[in-house]
Amino acid sequence: MQISISARHGQLSDATRDKISAKLEKLPRIFERLTSISVTVDLEHKDMPTVDLRVSAEHKHDFVANDQSSDLMASMDGALHKLEQQLRKYKQRVQGHHKKTGTRPQGSSPETESPGS
């Protein structure tokens, strides 16, 4: 898994890059098939930094999350939370396709039953 961290309108310190990278390394616990993660931190507005997360997974599935907050790490946490929700929902949907069963019990259909019985 490749992690790419970039900044617009400013620079990030090595400590901040390490913190962001450490948070992102936990994502494969939720969904194993991640191939690359791209983080863009926009520091144009110092009081409201914006974080954009783009995650690519196997089989051409891409997940995108954005967040803007008063603190850089709060923005990162917000975007990461949104991305985790997307990954969990996708994983549940993929795994749920194999477990579907019919909702109607065998042998009874509404057309064959009489309304007065």
The total number of residues shown for the chain amounts to 117
What does the pLDDT look like over 26-54, one tens digit per residue?
A: 888 888 888 899 999 999 988 999 999 99
DSSP-derived letter for residue 27 is: G
Quote the pTM value.
0.75
DSSP-derived letter for residue 10 is: S
pLDDT of 12 strictly over 70 = yes
Q: Could you write out the DSSP letters of every residue in the chain?
A: -EEEEEEESS---HHHHHHHHHHHTTGGGT-TTEEEEEEEEE-SSTTS-EEEEEEEEGGGEEEEEEEE-SSHHHHHHHHHHHHHHHHHHHHHHHHHTTS---SSPTT--TTTS-TT-
pLDDT of 112 strictly over 80 = no
Choice between 46 and 102, residue whose per-residue pLDDT is larger? 46
Choice between 105 and 31, residue whose per-residue pLDDT is larger? 31
DSSP-derived letter for residue 64 is: E
Residue 55: pLDDT band (50, 70, 90) is: very high
Query: Would you list the domain boundaries of the chain?
Result: 2-94
Which range among 26-35, 54-63, 72-81, 84-93 has the greatest average pLDDT? 72-81
Residue-averaged pLDDT of the chain:
85
CATH number of 2-94: 3.30.160.100
pLDDT of residue 61: 76
pLDDT of residue 59: 80
Of 52, 67, 47, 64, nearest to 8 by C-alpha is 52
Query: What number of other Cβ atoms are within 10 A of residue 27's Cβ?
Result: 20
